[in-house]
Amino acid sequence: MADVLSPPRDISVLAPPREHDEALSSWLVRTADAHLLTVEELEREIGGSLSGLDRGDATLLPRLAAMTCTDMGDLAALAPADLAAHPMRAGPKPPHCWAVCPACLQEDQAQRRAPYVRRAWTHPLSAFCRAHNAPLVPHGNSRIKIASDLTLFGDGAEPVEPRDNLLDIVEFDDPGMIARVFRALDDSGRAEALEKRLRLRWAVRDVIDAMTTRMRDPAAGALVALLEHPIFQRRSFVGNNHMTEDCWTDIDAATRLLYVRLALLVLAEPGDPALNDRTSPLGPNWLLLRYRHTKIKGWQSLFAHAAPDPLFLLTMELPRNAILQLNDRSLAWPSDLRRRWTYAAAVGAIGGYVY
């Protein structure tokens, strides 16, 4: 593609200094802003997608290094190790791809530096700010913007961005899983740390693919409705007819943040129901209420010791071909989550018969 482009234009003179741990897309959009260019115009100059750079696409780096008078190795080092090893499709362009922490952006302003998107927020698994332990929100939710409307949306275009006003209000997350993601995203550079992160990434990816698949009762919509309705009290995406692969690559930040948090809830260890009195975000006795029509003899005493694991929903509600795909895909998950999948598969095998 680069050979049909004009010679690289030098955009280093007006480029602002890159802030500490700033995402490449963020720095380039701020550079575009300094040149009064739009995101689209800068993407044409670079010859590809800005959001792809955050997701490990290295093909544009030689031209980008020439345009910004930066060392190519320095630019290549900005992509997280797992994305450099297994890049993801670019997905929506900035600002639609950006998740931000409003408290961090306020601190940027208070400390008189330009507000910017951190590298950690652009990772697909990232849904919380480590500094504030607070949910990230789409850039559209934030009153502090990374660049001008002209740069982000183009001249005369309506500055419309995806937003979700419930993401930072509704509490349903499992603290253990949020901490696990923080640990997995720590860049230790060790091969086993990379494998751990990739395995967790595959598990979240696969659960999101499962959640966006229509249930076997065709009128019931996508599986995500069984989580989103009780927690957020709203309707969900109607769903894909067949389970897709990697559907989180093409969705905007508002949708990704929602789905990643719900997937982490599905993957969270439910705990012993007899010893743990914490009510599930899906409501008290949700498992019993959902499957009471199965009329299992003696169910009340049985359920007092039955872990209400949301992973069961996947094996009970999805069509057979989706469950078969998940059986195979879950072999690549972290070993504890794969083990839980096998228990869920057993429940599905028995429950599907009773259903």
CB of 18 to Zn ion, least distance (A): 19
Q: How far is CA 329 from CA 69, 220, 251, 267, 334, in A?
A: 43, 25, 21, 14, 11
The two tokens of residue 136 are 């990230």
Cβ 151 vs Cβ 50: under 8 Å: no
CB of 133 to Zn ion, least distance (A): 8
Per rule CB under 5 A, is residue 99 in the interface with Zn ion?
no
Residue labelled with tokens 């997280």: 80
Query: Is the CB of 103 or the CB of 304 nearer to Zn ion?
Result: 103
Select the residue interacting with Zn ion from 15, 88, 99, 104 (CB under 5 A): 104
Query: Is the CB of 19 or the CB of 269 nearer to Zn ion?
Result: 19
CB of 117 to Zn ion, least distance (A): 12
The rounded distance, in Å, linking the Cα atoms of 255 and 248 is 8
Which one, of 207, 204, 226, lies nearest residue 215 by Cα? 226
CB of 131 to Zn ion, least distance (A): 4
Alpha carbon 91 to chain centroid, angstroms: 12
CB of 112 to Zn ion, least distance (A): 18
CB of 102 to Zn ion, least distance (A): 8
Which one, of 74, 144, 78, lies nearest residue 116 by Cα? 144
Cβ 171 vs Cβ 265: under 8 Å: no
Question: Looking at 15-23, 96-104, 118-126, 290-298, which segment touches Zn ion (CB under 5 A)?
Answer: 96-104
Per rule CB under 5 A, is residue 349 in the interface with Zn ion?
no
Select the residue interacting with Zn ion from 2, 14, 103, 274 (CB under 5 A): 103
Select the residue interacting with Zn ion from 69, 77, 85, 131 (CB under 5 A): 131
Per rule CB under 5 A, is residue 136 in the interface with Zn ion?
no
Query: Is the CB of 104 or the CB of 267 nearer to Zn ion?
Result: 104
Select the residue interacting with Zn ion from 64, 129, 181, 314 (CB under 5 A): 129
CB of 103 to Zn ion, least distance (A): 4
Indicate the DSSP class of residue 128. E
Estimate the crossing angle of helix 335-354 against helix 320-329, to 10 degrees: 160
The two tokens of residue 66 are 């020439």
Going by their DSSP bridges, the two strands 128-129 and 99-100 should be labelled as unpaired
Select the residue interacting with Zn ion from 86, 113, 132, 183 (CB under 5 A): 132
Number of residues that bind Zn ion (CB under 5 A): 6
As separate numbers, helices (DSSP H) first and strands (DSSP E) second, the chain gives 18, 4
Handedness of CA 19, 73, 248, 171 (dihedral sign): negative
Question: Looking at 129-137, 159-167, 207-215, 268-276, which segment touches Zn ion (CB under 5 A)?
Answer: 129-137
Q: How far is CA 172 from CA 228, 238, 261, 279, in A?
A: 11, 22, 9, 10
Query: Is the CB of 41 or the CB of 108 nearer to Zn ion?
Result: 108
Select the residue interacting with Zn ion from 28, 81, 99, 101 (CB under 5 A): 101
Would you tell me which residues interact with Zn ion (CB under 5 A)?
A: 101, 103-104, 129, 131-132
